Structure 1
Amino acid sequence: MEFGRLITAMVTPFDGDGQINWTAAGEMIDYLIGEQQSDSLVVCGTTGESPTLSDDEKLALFRYAVERAAGRCRIIAGTGSNNTAHSIHLTQLAEEAGVDGILLVAPYYNKPSQEGLYQHFAAIAAATSLPVMLYNVQGRTGVNLSVETTLRLAELPNVAATKDCASLEQLTQIITGAPAGFRVYSGDDSSALPALSVGAYGVVSVASHIVGTKMKRMIEAYVGGQVAEAAELHRECYPVFSGLFNCPHPVPNPVAVKYALTLKGMSVGGVRLPLVEATESEKTFISKLV
């Protein structure tokens, strides 16, 4: 399964009552595929506020995204959790819904050992025929999926990729040791180009909601050997890469990107508690990015 190089972790649009805005969700899918040139969309990831979505909402979003995308891009379902049995159940339902792949975040809060992480991911992968992308983000989960465990999982037949937010050193070690065909994606927009330089395949992005076209050009320029052009595009996009997470101080994703999309005329609504909307000073900062 080819996920492409630019994957957007899509926001979940809400209406004024905090319910899913289906019209806006369809418009967002069209916008990300058409205007921002995403190759794949992650639905119900962190950026999609997965912790506050019910299973019924997630499954409805999976079905809707598959139908709306209509083969124009791949749909990757965020089905990971810190409960292996629940993740298996949701993954199997997502497969029935017709998604193209699965994104599995490392279990958070319960801090499993590396063997526990391996057994968790291996059990879910064994329960589906879909390609699996691992997701390592220690800042959110409290545990690092090590190089050794990632490479061990990469040997499983349908573990196809990893989205890793660890250091460039860890990415380099994974890329160096990975079997042929295993794809490494940066999970950090600011590190996308540096990650490409050591052999990463692409990026799972938040900023691509806003500067996806430039990011696609940056990736294509680098892959095509136009390194100076890629570096210039990286520098042009960098204020957005950084600003969506630090405006001017750290803000939880997707607060900033949702407000930025609103400024672009997209009806994505607010965020669900425990997240809260951007402050007036944060809004002023974000408005200078778009």
Structure 2
Amino acid sequence: MNFGKVLTAMVTPFDNHGKIDLKKTADLIDYLLANGTDGLVVAGTTGESPTLSADEKVELWKQVVQVVKGRVPVIAGSGSNSTDKSIHLSKRAEEAGVDAVMLVAPYYNKPDQRGLYQHFKTIAEAIDLPVMIYNVPGRSVVRLTPDTVVSLSHIKNIVSVKEATGDLDGMSEIISRTDDSFSLYSGDDNLTLPSYAIGAHGIISVSSHIIGNEMQTMLKLYEEGKDKKAAALHRKLLPLMKGMFSAPSPTPVKAALKMVGIDTGGVRLPLVPLSDKDLESIHQIINKVKSNGTEKGV
């Protein structure tokens, strides 16, 4: 299932008391849709899902659906390491009117491949929404193998996978062995162009909060056969992509958003604000990437 090319893993805006700020959320959505975002992933890792309660997630999904008004797909991060809880939350996401759910690989309890398969299969069969699998071993410890992803792709409403493995070989295998109707998205900003070149549908991005239009331009250049220009733009954007992960996410991107005039508040503990040194580094990166100067060939 094609959700677009550049999807944003949206931050969750907070007020000065650390509560979800619905007005800031609406402002952020309008900003993102005007700046290169084809779809929104809400209450995922970048949305600080570990510190959001179930009720907060539902409140957030309802607000996003209401503001988006069908302009782009809204994908709810409703997965956890509990199959039953994931089913319950996914049903609430369905009631909130989202277009699909994203289910993270179960973290901490470390299931094997058979357990992973049954986890996703059981949730998918309990709901009617399209399901995107989220393969992120850097956070969940476990990793879905290409064989398991391919097997899961045969389940009717499992339609996509977000591969945050950094493994282009594994992505290539999944793309080769799944139907054209099954989509693969990279979860690593720095692999946006390389993964697109091997057949990925696009990227679920953190950096697109700041450089969504530039990422769209990069992919369009590639589609037009302007490989060298696309590669040059990739090299220009790479420092910012890396900078967004120079401290625990989403701390850098929330700071970067404030620098470009979009206030999404702070982060919740156990995350902490950036140091002055890190803030200056992010500021310099943004200024360099957003400057009018471009590398040769762009």
Output one character per residue of 1:28-66: Cα deviation in whole Å (capped at 9) or x when no partner: 0001111x2211000000000000001111001111100
- Residue 275 of structure 1 is matched in structure 2 by 271
Q: TM-score, normalised by structure 1?
A: 0.96
- Residue 182 of structure 1 is matched in structure 2 by 182
Output one character per residue of 1:68-104: Cα deviation in whole Å (capped at 9) or x when no partner: 0011111000000000000000001100110001111
| Unpaired segments ≥5 residues, structure 1 | none
3-state DSSP class of the match of 1:15? coil
- Residue 20 of structure 1 is matched in structure 2 by 20
Tell me whether 1:41 sits opposite 2:25 in the alignment.
no
The within-5 A match list for 1:91-240 is 91-166=90-165, 167-240=167-240
Give the Å deviation of 1:9: 0.2
Tell me the distance in 2 between the aligned counterparts of 1:208 and 1:265.
Answer: 15
The within-5 A match list for 1:255-270 is 255-270=251-266
Computed over aligned residues only, the root mean square deviation of the Cα atoms, in angstroms, reads 0.9
Q: TM-score, normalised by structure 2?
A: 0.94
Tell me the distance in 1 between the aligned counterparts of 2:112 and 2:42.
Answer: 28
Tell me the distance in 2 between the aligned counterparts of 1:139 and 1:2.
Answer: 25
3-state DSSP class of the match of 1:160? strand
| Contact persistence 2:9–2:41 (CA under 8 A) | yes
Give the Å deviation of 1:180: 2.4
Give the Å deviation of 1:198: 1.1
| Unpaired segments ≥5 residues, structure 2 | 287-298
| 1:8 partner letter | T
Tell me the distance in 2 between the aligned counterparts of 1:224 and 1:135.
Answer: 30
Tell me the distance in 1 between the aligned counterparts of 2:206 and 2:223.
Answer: 21
| 1:82 partner letter | N
Output one character per residue of 1:96-119: Cα deviation in whole Å (capped at 9) or x when no partner: 110001111100000001000000
Output one character per residue of 1:127-182: Cα deviation in whole Å (capped at 9) or x when no partner: 11111111111010000111100000011111111000121111111111112211
Give the Å deviation of 1:226: 2.1
3-state DSSP class of the match of 2:12? coil
| Contact persistence 2:2–2:201 (CA under 8 A) | no
Output one character per residue of 1:226-258: Cα deviation in whole Å (capped at 9) or x when no partner: 212211221121111111112xxxx11101000
Tell me the distance in 1 between the aligned counterparts of 2:220 and 2:183.
Answer: 17
Runs of 4+ in 1 over 6 A off after TM superposition: none
Tell me the distance in 2 between the aligned counterparts of 1:113 and 1:29.
Answer: 38
3-state DSSP class of the match of 1:103? strand
